[in-house]
Amino acid sequence: MKVHVFGNSPSPAVATYGLRRTAQAGEGEFGEDAKRFVERDFYVDDALKSMPTASEAIDLLQRTQGMLATANLRLHKIASSSAEGIQHVGFILGKAKLAPQPEHTISRLELCGAVLATEVAELILDELDVKLDAVKFYTDSKVVLGYINNQTRRFYTYISNRVERIRRSTQPEQWNYVPTDQNPADLATRSVPASLLKQTIWLTGPAFLLRCDSGPCTTKETFGLIEPEPDKEIRPQVTTFVTDV
Protein backbone atom coordinates (compact mmCIF):
# COMPACT_ATOMS: atom_id res chain seq x y z
CA MET A 1 0.00 0.00 0.00
CA LYS A 2 1.54 3.31 -1.11
CA VAL A 3 -1.28 5.64 -0.03
CA HIS A 4 -2.26 6.26 3.59
CA VAL A 5 -6.07 6.30 3.75
CA PHE A 6 -7.21 9.15 5.96
CA GLY A 7 -10.01 8.16 8.36
CA ASN A 8 -9.41 4.45 7.98
CA SER A 9 -9.82 2.53 11.27
CA PRO A 10 -6.19 1.34 11.50
CA SER A 11 -4.79 4.75 10.47
CA PRO A 12 -3.18 5.54 13.88
CA ALA A 13 -1.53 2.13 13.98
CA VAL A 14 -0.27 2.47 10.41
CA ALA A 15 1.12 5.95 11.15
CA THR A 16 2.90 4.72 14.29
CA TYR A 17 4.33 1.76 12.42
CA GLY A 18 5.63 4.02 9.66
CA LEU A 19 7.29 6.37 12.15
CA ARG A 20 8.99 3.55 14.03
CA ARG A 21 10.25 1.80 10.90
CA THR A 22 11.69 5.12 9.72
CA ALA A 23 13.39 5.61 13.11
CA GLN A 24 14.87 2.12 13.06
CA ALA A 25 16.18 2.59 9.53
CA GLY A 26 17.75 5.95 10.37
CA GLU A 27 19.35 5.04 13.71
CA GLY A 28 22.81 4.52 12.23
CA GLU A 29 22.89 7.90 10.47
CA PHE A 30 20.94 10.12 12.87
CA GLY A 31 21.67 8.57 16.27
CA GLU A 32 20.12 6.25 18.81
CA ASP A 33 18.58 9.15 20.79
CA ALA A 34 16.65 10.33 17.71
CA LYS A 35 15.32 6.79 17.25
CA ARG A 36 14.32 6.61 20.93
CA PHE A 37 12.66 10.03 20.68
CA VAL A 38 10.37 8.79 17.90
CA GLU A 39 9.67 5.44 19.57
CA ARG A 40 9.06 6.66 23.12
CA ASP A 41 7.93 10.31 22.95
CA PHE A 42 5.50 10.37 20.01
CA TYR A 43 1.75 9.85 20.28
CA VAL A 44 0.46 9.34 16.74
CA ASP A 45 1.80 12.56 15.13
CA ASP A 46 2.53 14.63 18.26
CA ALA A 47 5.71 14.57 20.34
CA LEU A 48 6.62 15.90 23.78
CA LYS A 49 10.19 15.94 25.06
CA SER A 50 12.07 17.67 27.87
CA MET A 51 15.76 18.45 27.41
CA PRO A 52 18.34 19.96 29.81
CA THR A 53 19.24 22.82 27.46
CA ALA A 54 17.76 24.56 24.42
CA SER A 55 20.83 23.72 22.31
CA GLU A 56 20.41 19.98 23.00
CA ALA A 57 16.72 20.19 22.08
CA ILE A 58 17.53 21.98 18.80
CA ASP A 59 20.16 19.39 17.91
CA LEU A 60 17.77 16.49 18.58
CA LEU A 61 14.97 18.13 16.56
CA GLN A 62 17.23 18.82 13.59
CA ARG A 63 18.45 15.22 13.48
CA THR A 64 14.91 13.89 13.90
CA GLN A 65 13.68 16.14 11.09
CA GLY A 66 16.41 14.79 8.84
CA MET A 67 15.61 11.22 9.77
CA LEU A 68 11.87 11.54 9.13
CA ALA A 69 12.50 13.41 5.87
CA THR A 70 14.00 10.21 4.43
CA ALA A 71 10.45 8.80 4.49
CA ASN A 72 8.86 12.05 3.25
CA LEU A 73 7.58 12.83 6.76
CA ARG A 74 7.85 16.51 7.75
CA LEU A 75 8.36 17.34 11.42
CA HIS A 76 7.13 20.91 11.93
CA LYS A 77 5.03 23.20 14.17
CA ILE A 78 7.57 23.12 16.97
CA ALA A 79 6.90 24.98 20.24
CA SER A 80 9.21 25.56 23.20
CA SER A 81 8.61 26.59 26.80
CA SER A 82 12.09 28.10 27.07
CA ALA A 83 12.23 31.51 28.74
CA GLU A 84 14.62 32.53 25.96
CA GLY A 85 12.13 31.76 23.23
CA ILE A 86 10.73 34.10 20.61
CA GLN A 87 10.14 37.60 21.94
CA HIS A 88 7.18 39.50 20.60
CA VAL A 89 5.65 42.89 21.21
CA GLY A 90 1.94 42.92 20.45
CA PHE A 91 -0.52 45.79 20.13
CA ILE A 92 -3.59 45.14 22.30
CA LEU A 93 -5.32 48.48 22.79
CA GLY A 94 -4.59 52.09 22.00
CA LYS A 95 -6.48 55.20 22.99
CA ALA A 96 -5.83 58.88 22.34
CA LYS A 97 -7.40 61.84 24.08
CA LEU A 98 -8.07 65.19 22.44
CA ALA A 99 -6.91 68.31 24.22
CA PRO A 100 -9.87 69.97 25.99
CA GLN A 101 -11.07 73.53 25.48
CA PRO A 102 -10.07 75.90 26.94
CA GLU A 103 -6.51 74.73 26.49
CA HIS A 104 -4.65 73.25 29.43
CA THR A 105 -0.99 73.67 30.27
CA ILE A 106 1.44 71.09 28.86
CA SER A 107 1.99 69.57 32.29
CA ARG A 108 -1.77 69.10 32.79
CA LEU A 109 -2.16 67.49 29.35
CA GLU A 110 0.75 65.13 30.01
CA LEU A 111 -0.73 64.18 33.38
CA CYS A 112 -4.12 63.48 31.75
CA GLY A 113 -2.27 61.14 29.40
CA ALA A 114 -0.83 59.29 32.40
CA VAL A 115 -4.33 58.95 33.88
CA LEU A 116 -5.54 57.55 30.54
CA ALA A 117 -2.67 55.02 30.55
CA THR A 118 -3.71 53.91 34.03
CA GLU A 119 -7.33 53.43 32.95
CA VAL A 120 -6.32 51.47 29.83
CA ALA A 121 -4.07 49.22 31.94
CA GLU A 122 -6.94 48.52 34.34
CA LEU A 123 -9.20 47.58 31.41
CA ILE A 124 -6.61 45.24 29.87
CA LEU A 125 -5.82 43.54 33.19
CA ASP A 126 -9.53 43.01 33.80
CA GLU A 127 -10.18 41.55 30.34
CA LEU A 128 -7.10 39.35 29.94
CA ASP A 129 -7.28 35.84 31.37
CA VAL A 130 -3.49 35.85 31.73
CA LYS A 131 -1.52 36.56 34.89
CA LEU A 132 1.05 39.24 34.12
CA ASP A 133 4.40 39.23 35.92
CA ALA A 134 4.87 42.98 35.65
CA VAL A 135 3.16 46.10 34.32
CA LYS A 136 5.26 49.12 33.36
CA PHE A 137 4.29 52.60 32.25
CA TYR A 138 6.39 54.94 30.10
CA THR A 139 6.10 58.68 29.61
CA ASP A 140 8.37 61.25 28.00
CA SER A 141 7.39 63.89 30.57
CA LYS A 142 9.78 64.17 33.51
CA VAL A 143 7.41 66.74 35.02
CA VAL A 144 4.70 64.06 35.27
CA LEU A 145 7.20 61.57 36.70
CA GLY A 146 8.12 64.16 39.31
CA TYR A 147 4.44 64.63 40.21
CA ILE A 148 3.88 60.87 40.56
CA ASN A 149 7.01 60.34 42.67
CA ASN A 150 6.47 63.42 44.84
CA GLN A 151 6.53 62.84 48.60
CA THR A 152 7.28 66.32 49.93
CA ARG A 153 5.10 68.99 48.33
CA ARG A 154 1.35 69.60 48.02
CA PHE A 155 -0.45 70.24 44.73
CA TYR A 156 -3.46 72.31 43.84
CA THR A 157 -6.71 70.41 43.28
CA TYR A 158 -6.44 69.61 39.55
CA ILE A 159 -3.02 67.95 39.80
CA SER A 160 -3.68 66.46 43.22
CA ASN A 161 -6.81 64.60 42.09
CA ARG A 162 -5.11 63.10 39.03
CA VAL A 163 -1.97 62.07 40.88
CA GLU A 164 -4.18 60.40 43.48
CA ARG A 165 -6.04 58.58 40.68
CA ILE A 166 -2.77 57.30 39.22
CA ARG A 167 -1.34 56.18 42.56
CA ARG A 168 -4.58 54.47 43.51
CA SER A 169 -3.88 51.82 40.84
CA THR A 170 -0.12 51.98 40.30
CA GLN A 171 3.11 52.41 42.21
CA PRO A 172 5.69 55.11 41.39
CA GLU A 173 8.23 52.34 40.71
CA GLN A 174 6.15 51.23 37.72
CA TRP A 175 6.61 54.56 35.94
CA ASN A 176 9.61 55.06 33.66
CA TYR A 177 11.00 57.68 31.33
CA VAL A 178 11.16 57.14 27.56
CA PRO A 179 12.79 59.60 25.12
CA THR A 180 10.29 61.40 22.91
CA ASP A 181 11.62 59.85 19.70
CA GLN A 182 10.96 56.37 21.14
CA ASN A 183 7.50 57.11 22.54
CA PRO A 184 4.73 55.39 20.50
CA ALA A 185 2.02 57.58 22.04
CA ASP A 186 3.34 60.62 20.19
CA LEU A 187 2.13 59.13 16.91
CA ALA A 188 -1.48 59.39 18.10
CA THR A 189 -1.37 63.16 17.65
CA ARG A 190 0.74 63.27 14.48
CA SER A 191 -0.21 62.73 10.87
CA VAL A 192 0.85 59.25 9.74
CA PRO A 193 -0.33 57.84 6.37
CA ALA A 194 -2.40 54.68 6.78
CA SER A 195 -0.08 52.86 4.37
CA LEU A 196 2.85 53.41 6.75
CA LEU A 197 1.06 52.71 10.03
CA LYS A 198 2.08 49.05 10.20
CA GLN A 199 5.76 50.02 10.13
CA THR A 200 5.50 52.54 12.99
CA ILE A 201 6.24 51.98 16.67
CA TRP A 202 2.54 52.64 17.38
CA LEU A 203 1.92 48.97 16.50
CA THR A 204 5.33 47.34 16.91
CA GLY A 205 6.53 49.15 20.01
CA PRO A 206 9.95 50.77 20.49
CA ALA A 207 12.97 48.57 19.79
CA PHE A 208 14.26 48.71 23.36
CA LEU A 209 11.37 46.51 24.56
CA LEU A 210 13.05 43.58 22.78
CA ARG A 211 16.46 44.46 24.21
CA CYS A 212 15.81 44.66 27.92
CA ASP A 213 19.52 44.30 28.69
CA SER A 214 19.87 47.96 27.73
CA GLY A 215 17.85 51.10 27.14
CA PRO A 216 15.00 52.73 29.09
CA CYS A 217 13.61 49.41 30.37
CA THR A 218 16.73 48.84 32.51
CA THR A 219 17.48 52.42 33.51
CA LYS A 220 15.76 53.17 36.79
CA GLU A 221 15.96 56.83 37.69
CA THR A 222 14.73 58.75 40.70
CA PHE A 223 12.49 61.57 39.53
CA GLY A 224 12.08 64.72 41.56
CA LEU A 225 9.92 67.76 40.97
CA ILE A 226 11.11 69.93 38.07
CA GLU A 227 11.59 73.53 39.27
CA PRO A 228 8.95 73.34 42.02
CA GLU A 229 9.18 76.99 43.05
CA PRO A 230 7.93 78.59 39.77
CA ASP A 231 5.53 75.68 39.06
CA LYS A 232 2.02 77.12 39.45
CA GLU A 233 0.55 73.65 40.06
CA ILE A 234 2.49 73.25 43.32
CA ARG A 235 1.35 74.95 46.48
CA PRO A 236 3.95 77.28 47.99
CA GLN A 237 5.70 76.14 51.10
CA VAL A 238 4.81 78.01 54.25
CA THR A 239 7.32 78.24 57.05
CA THR A 240 6.10 78.99 60.55
CA PHE A 241 8.42 80.13 63.31
CA VAL A 242 7.45 79.74 66.93
CA THR A 243 9.10 81.77 69.65
CA ASP A 244 8.75 81.06 73.32
CA VAL A 245 8.54 84.18 75.50
Q: pLDDT (tens digit, 0 to 9) for every residue of the chain, 245 residues total? A: 566 666 677 777 888 888 899 999 999 999 999 999 999 998 888 888 888 888 898 999 999 999 999 988 888 888 877 766 667 788 888 888 777 766 777 888 899 999 999 999 999 999 888 888 889 999 999 999 999 999 888 998 999 999 999 999 999 999 999 998 898 888 877 778 888 888 888 888 888 888 765 556 656 677 888 888 888 888 887 777 788 87
Same domain, 34 and 127: no
Q: Give the chain's domain count.
A: 2
Q: How far apart are CA 216 and CA 223, in angstroms?
A: 14
**191 in the same domain as 110:** yes
Q: Which domain holds residue 223?
A: 89-245
Residue 144: which residues within 8 A CB-CB, separation 6 or more? 107, 110, 111, 113, 114
pTM of the model: 0.62
Characterize 199-234 residue by residue with b for buried, 16 or more Cβ atoms within 10 angstroms of its Cβ, and e for exposed. Answer: eebbebebebbeeeeebbbeeeeebebeebeebebb
Is the previous residue joined to 228 through a cis bond, with omega within 30 degrees of 0? no
- 206 & 131 share domain: yes
Strands 175-177 and 42-43: unpaired
Residue 180 lies in a domain: yes
Tell me the chain's radius of gyration from C-alpha atoms: 29
237 in the same domain as 196? yes
Residues 64 and 103 in one domain: no
Q: Are residues 109 and 64 both part of a single domain?
A: no
Which pLDDT value is given to residue 2? 65
The reply to whether 81 falls in a domain is no
Question: What DSSP character marks residue 43?
Answer: E
Same domain, 236 and 129: yes
Pick from 89, 84, 85, 114: nearest CA to 209: 89
Q: Which of 206, 121, 123, 130 is nearest to 171 (CA)?
A: 121
Is position 245 within any domain? Answer: yes
Pairs from 12-18 (Cβ < 8 Å, separation ≥ 24):
12/44, 15/44, 15/45, 16/42, 16/44, 18/71, 18/73
DSSP strands (E only) in the chain: 42-43, 46-47, 137-139, 175-177
Whole-number Å distance between alpha carbons of 68 and 35: 10
